[in-house]
């Protein structure tokens, strides 16, 4: 029993160290994205999206596609991502609550900062996943896997644009599903319920990934 407790404690320390590495690397490498403005696709998803208006009903988001068009109209893109849209709208309201009187197109920082934090947490979860899949003796492989995932340049397209919130949230919830399923308690009924809820959240963030 004592030996098992020691092994469990060692596993927790290993996961905490790896997740901290992933989180800090994600923040450090992609923090320059905070200085960027809105991108081309952000115009339709944020700047010109009627759902982003602070006076618009939150309920309408569940009836519209990601770009603010009624989902049942012929010209709708059919990209149903209510959770991603809700998070973008939360950014707009947060800016209003903070008393920022700037036009929306000058308030990209809050959107980029939210994207960066979501990405950093995804890196932390990916690091935990690496500790679950790789033997505990392969510390160098765990560090290398965590570092490669966190600093890979392909991820810039999922951080710099506000519109990439859909990809970020879907990725976060998907990796969280894997981490929970592979945990020691991953076969319990409560774990299955949590995994199911996370899968629904992922699908509500982006309809395909």
Mean pLDDT over 22-33 rounds to 94
Mean pLDDT over 142-150 rounds to 93
> Which residues have CB under 8 Å from 130's CB, separation 6+?
18, 141, 142, 145, 146, 149
- pLDDT tens for residues 88-101? 999 988 888 776 66
| pLDDT given for residue 209 in this prediction | 52
Which DSSP letter does residue 60 get? Answer: G
- pLDDT tens for residues 171-209? 999 999 999 999 989 999 999 999 999 999 999 999 865
Domains of the chain by residue range: 2-205
Query: Would the CA dihedral through 125, 129, 130, 131 be positive or negative?
Result: positive
Does residue 143 surpass a pLDDT of 60? yes
| pLDDT given for residue 149 in this prediction | 93
> Which residues have CB under 8 Å from 15's CB, separation 6+?
127, 128, 131
Mean pLDDT over 25-43 rounds to 92
């Amino acid at each position: 029993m004592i030996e098992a407790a020691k092994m469990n404690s060692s596993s927790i320390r290993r996961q905490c160290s790896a997740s901290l590495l992933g989180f800090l690397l994600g923040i450090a490498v992609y923090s320059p994205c905070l200085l960027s403005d809105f991108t081309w696709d952000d115009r339709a998803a944020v700047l010109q999206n009627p759902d982003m208006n602070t006076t618009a009903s939150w309920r309408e988001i569940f009836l519209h596609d990601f770009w603010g068009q009624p989902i049942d109209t012929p010209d709708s893109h059919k990209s149903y991502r209510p959770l991603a849209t809700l998070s973008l709208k939360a950014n707009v309201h947060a800016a209003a609550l903070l008393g920022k009187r700037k036009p929306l197109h000058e308030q990209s920082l809050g959107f980029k900062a939210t994207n960066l934090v979501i990405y950093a947490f995804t890196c932390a979860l990916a690091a935990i996943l690496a500790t679950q899949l790789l033997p505990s003796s392969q510390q160098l492989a765990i560090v290398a896997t965590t570092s490669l995932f966190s600093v890979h340049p392909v991820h810039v397209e999922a951080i710099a644009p506000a519109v990439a919130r859909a990809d970020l949230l879907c990725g976060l919830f998907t990796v969280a599903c894997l981490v929970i399923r592979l945990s020691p308690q991953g076969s319990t009924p409560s774990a299955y319920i949590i995994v199911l809820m996370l899968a629904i959240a992922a699908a509500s963030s982006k309809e395909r990934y």
